Structure 1
Amino acid sequence: MEPGPPVQDRPNIVLICVDQWRGDALSAAGHPVVRTPHVDELARNGTRFSRAYSATPTCVPARVALFTGQSPERHGRYGYRDGVPFSRAHPVTMQGVLGANGYQTQAIGKMHVYPERARVGFDDVRLHDGFLHFSRRYGGRNLEAHDDYLTWYRRQPAAGAAADHAEDGVGCNSMVAAPWSRPEHLHPTNWVVSEAVDWLYRRDPEVPFFLYLSFHRPHAPFNPPQWAFDQYVHQPPQDPPVGDWVGDFEEFRADDHHQTVMGRLDPQTHHRAKAGYYGNISHIDLQLNRFLEALGDFQLTDDTVIIFTSDHGEMMGDHDMYRKSVPYEGSAHVPLIVRPAANFQPDAPKGQVCDEVTELRDVMPTVLELAGVEVPDTVDGASLVPFTRGERPDWRDVIHGEHVHFGQSLQWLTDGRAKYCWASGEGKEQFFDLTADPHERHNLVADADRADEVDRWRRRLITFLTGRDEGFVADGALVTGRPVQTESNAVRATMSAPRTAPATVRLGR
């Protein structure tokens, strides 16, 4: 049956953001173990961007890029730091612009902004940040004042005597995994979808909506329901890739520590961590199907764009590293899928895979173009909509990424086929041929046959870093050992400045 005519003049848009989901962890991308049938269905009905990255791969700066459409050069957040008032530093947001142009905007789940209850342009927020990054200073008994999931959870009769211990002691940054011990409907992943379905009943039916559906998982705690954990814990163990360059960060090694970021875990702990991580992924995938079925029940499927992405990845033992912050594929490569609304793009190609290098900064201009809204000049990302129409527009040939980690700035450039990395502490360099070596096992920086290529990439990084506050470039060369900072001087200046009112951007149709 052909799609019917639109019931409104602009599409609804659902932006699904998961936390710490690797770009390769999709069965649609050929992962040998993970199964994601419902996310795969989005890809089959839309466009999957196979070389998508998070340029600043931790929660805080990645969400700045997502909400502002900006690169690290523009938004000025170079590392993980809580406590920067979001709306002062970043007054123009995707959701704020949509709201100013007639969209009802709702966020459900993880925000990870400061203050926690800041709406940063949304009409309303139903919050579950997982680990409450500031509220803990007020004492654990007051967390419900800052977290809607915990408020709900502690009122559920099924929570029983364990109502104050929703996570069973499974740590929010720990590699120790254990299945969820409560009824599954109490799990925060289920709660996000339940809230979203309830919101569909309460939305204003006379205007289009933008829904930010944000999951704390598959980020630790690695505590999926038992069925999801069992799906992977009985798989044969697999050794992670370890590069010939792994000694570059040897001084930061902490083997067998359950919260290690650089170190090797015993095989059983590592295997269970993977089972918990992949189990979280399969759990989200199933709950997404629940939400997508609800859209169908409301007859909204053909009027609604679905965008799926993650704020960053998870190293999961690759190169003896866990968690994120580093430039390697497990950390910086993210999934990105755009499934158009059939009533608004009836001829959009299906099942496309685009290999152009993309980044989280591209989500905001994509959303605004789909909504028929003018893109503010604060944005330096680029819209992906032409790709979803089957076009191949002129496109960037490289992205620059960075993150303060291991006490230094880890800088990197990639076009999705090669990657150049520079660590500011001692100037260690790495160069990977991602086409021939997708798991980054071999550092080619000392390969005489690649010397000219490495030099070209180095010079490109120098161009990106020239004029930076830290003084990473002097006399046309990279400078090592410079003090690093997690945000630009311009962002620091906003922290004591009065809040700037959100921008109003007129509708451009």
Structure 2
Amino acid sequence: MMASQGYNFENAYSPVPSCVPARAALLTGMDQERTGRVGYEDEVPWNFTNTLPKTFSDMGYQTECIGKMHVYPSRKRMGYDHVLLHDGYLHADRKYDKPYGSQFEYSDDYLDFLKNSLGHDTDIIDDGVNCNSWEARPWPYSEKYHPTNWVVSESIKFLQKRDPTVPFFLKMSFEKPHAPLDPPQYYFDMYMDRLPKKLDLHIGNWETLKDEIPGIYALRGKLKKDDERRMVAAYLGLITHIDNQISHFLTSLKEFRNDKDTIVWFVSDHGDQLGEHYLFRKAYPYNGSIHIPSFIYDPGNLIAAENHKIKQLVKIQDIFPSIVDLALNKKVKTDGKSVKQLLFGDYEGWRSNFHGEHSLGKDSSQYILTDNYKFIWFPVRDEYQLFDVQKDPNEKVNLINNSKYKPVVNDLTKKLIEFLKGRQEDFVIDGKLKKVPLNKIVATLDFVKNKHN
């Protein structure tokens, strides 16, 4: 409903698809070359000063984040007036040798709620489902204790207790559908009943797979059909659960008479590979990881634009300048661009491509996405892929060795070289892409770490 009645960005992407780099891009509007976050790494200080919430706070808004922040230190507010935190199971915080006040018991407000509700021997890992796994099972407690419900319940409390004399900026940050894949029973059963026995995993002409049982933390593998169905059913169930809880919040927004003076932007930090191409989790250059939902719901018609389906390439970096432009009618200097022009049918000067990447060991990738093609380079393996994104959205046919597409490959190689010139990993030597040893791959660029040494 929100996407169809609002403004739907059908080609929205998270260029560096995992929690830390994506949230840095959302918060600052900066590309990864400037945030320094080119992969996933915990416990690197977040010292960004020009942030989305700070901009609204400086303009007199009451700013609040409820749910996931995934910054470091965990309690850093990054410009919000106040934060109620639940980052999920963060490995970095789940260490008992950390200093008092920095362990997970002190950095997770939802966990405090759960323990106070169900007993202090209760924990978020009681059901044994891992936070980065294909394992799935229903949530073991009453639905009202689920973290998705908690985000909405606390958001409604914010509406009740906020300062009514100033406008508000609220970030409702759901940890789900991130693993552990544990929707309430109703939502799990909904999709177990609907899904076919065999799922289309988009297997094409390029995947390779070892004949072995995938571990519960595996990044790739082939599951038994029932395990595959359970994983997908749980993931889709978590999404529909969020849908219903957003409906709960929208009803409350109307009860507080804020439905006609509020715009809602729904977005995800990244997607997940759910067995497609035999891959799990995120951080890959394929659509399962990088293609994200992004749409604006505007029940009061405050924006009053003509275009409701936007097909241009937009990035998570565009949200910061866009919201500032739409809500405050102001410009902010970021790498992202305001989508306001697209909503009103002005496409002049809009991007026709962007550069994305992610450090992931031997699967580390660099890629260029255009309106028509995706060109991928795996620098550690020194392997290439090319997909026609219009004809082959499921990325099943690798065209890299098709002579017909040699001009496309040459052009996109040049573009990638331009993006990677001067990078510390030495991706480009003598004007050419060169294979990179694994020990040169980093998740955070040195200029960020050196700043804090």
TM-score scaled by length of structure 2: 0.94
Aligned to 1:368: 324
Measure, in 1, the Cα distance between the counterparts of 2:58 and 2:91: 30
Aligned to 1:147: 108
Aligned counterpart for 1:355 among listed residues 305, 311, 318 = 311
Aligned counterpart for 1:209 among listed residues 159, 162, 168 = 168
Does the 8 Å CA contact 1:101/1:373 hold for their aligned counterparts? no
Aligned to 1:446: 401
Aligned to 2:237: 279
Structure 1 residue 103: Cα displacement: 1.3
- Listed one character per residue, the Cα deviations across residues 389-412 of structure 1 (whole Å, up to 9, x for unaligned) are 344343001010000013353001
What secondary structure sits across from 1:429 in the alignment? strand
Aligned counterpart for 2:450 among listed residues 489, 493, 506 = 493
Aligned to 2:288: 330
Measure, in 1, the Cα distance between the counterparts of 2:186 and 2:15: 34
Measure, in 1, the Cα distance between the counterparts of 2:121 and 2:95: 22
Measure, in 2, the Cα distance between the counterparts of 1:329 and 1:176: 22
Measure, in 2, the Cα distance between the counterparts of 1:470 and 1:274: 36
Structure 1 residue 344: Cα displacement: 2.9
Aligned to 1:298: 256
The count of corresponding residues between Structure 1 and Structure 2 is: 446
Aligned to 1:68: 28
- Listed one character per residue, the Cα deviations across residues 290-315 of structure 1 (whole Å, up to 9, x for unaligned) are 01111111111111111011000011
Structure 1 residue 488: Cα displacement: 1.8
Alignment of 1:434-473 (within 5 A): 434-473=389-428
Q: Report the aligned-residue RMSD.
A: 1.9
Q: Tell me, which stretches of 5 or more residues in structure 1 are unaligned?
A: 1-40, 497-509
Structure 1 residue 343: Cα displacement: 5.6
Does the 8 Å CA contact 1:51/1:416 hold for their aligned counterparts? no
Aligned to 1:128: 86
Alignment-mate amino acid for residue 41 of structure 2: R
Does the 8 Å CA contact 1:98/1:373 hold for their aligned counterparts? no
When residues 408 and 172 of structure 1 are mapped into structure 2, their CA distance, relative to the original with a 3 A threshold, is: closer
Does the 8 Å CA contact 2:356/2:366 hold for their aligned counterparts? yes
Does the 8 Å CA contact 2:181/2:231 hold for their aligned counterparts? yes
Structure 1 residue 61: Cα displacement: 0.4
Structure 1 residue 165: Cα displacement: 4.9
Aligned to 2:355: 400
Aligned to 1:227: 186
Aligned counterpart for 1:95 among listed residues 43, 46, 53 = 53
Moved over 4 A (4+): 139-142
Does the 8 Å CA contact 1:127/1:147 hold for their aligned counterparts? yes
Alignment-mate amino acid for residue 376 of structure 2: C
Does the 8 Å CA contact 2:421/2:428 hold for their aligned counterparts? yes
Measure, in 2, the Cα distance between the counterparts of 1:100 and 1:406: 41
Measure, in 1, the Cα distance between the counterparts of 2:257 and 2:348: 33
Alignment-mate amino acid for residue 292 of structure 2: V
Measure, in 1, the Cα distance between the counterparts of 2:301 and 2:206: 51
What secondary structure sits across from 1:304 in the alignment? coil
Aligned counterpart for 1:315 among listed residues 247, 250, 273 = 273
When residues 466 and 254 of structure 1 are mapped into structure 2, their CA distance, relative to the original with a 3 A threshold, is: farther
Does the 8 Å CA contact 2:265/2:296 hold for their aligned counterparts? yes
Does the 8 Å CA contact 2:111/2:124 hold for their aligned counterparts? no
- Listed one character per residue, the Cα deviations across residues 119-160 of structure 1 (whole Å, up to 9, x for unaligned) are 11111100001113332112799633111001011111xx25
- Listed one character per residue, the Cα deviations across residues 64-108 of structure 1 (whole Å, up to 9, x for unaligned) are 000000111222211000011112xx2211111211121111000
- Tell me which moved more, 438-447 or 231-240: 231-240
Aligned to 1:47: 7
- Tell me which moved more, 234-243 or 131-140: 131-140
TM-score scaled by length of structure 1: 0.84
- Listed one character per residue, the Cα deviations across residues 308-341 of structure 1 (whole Å, up to 9, x for unaligned) are 1100001100100000000000011101102236
Alignment-mate amino acid for residue 13 of structure 2: Y
When residues 262 and 166 of structure 1 are mapped into structure 2, their CA distance, relative to the original with a 3 A threshold, is: closer
Does the 8 Å CA contact 2:426/2:436 hold for their aligned counterparts? no
Aligned to 1:479: 434
Measure, in 2, the Cα distance between the counterparts of 1:421 and 1:206: 51
Alignment-mate amino acid for residue 218 of structure 1: P
- Listed one character per residue, the Cα deviations across residues 377-430 of structure 1 (whole Å, up to 9, x for unaligned) are 3x1100112223344343001010000013353001112431000000131000
Alignment of 1:195-206 (within 5 A): 195-206=154-165
| Aligned sequence identity (%) | 39
Structure 1 residue 164: Cα displacement: 3.1
Does the 8 Å CA contact 1:408/1:484 hold for their aligned counterparts? no
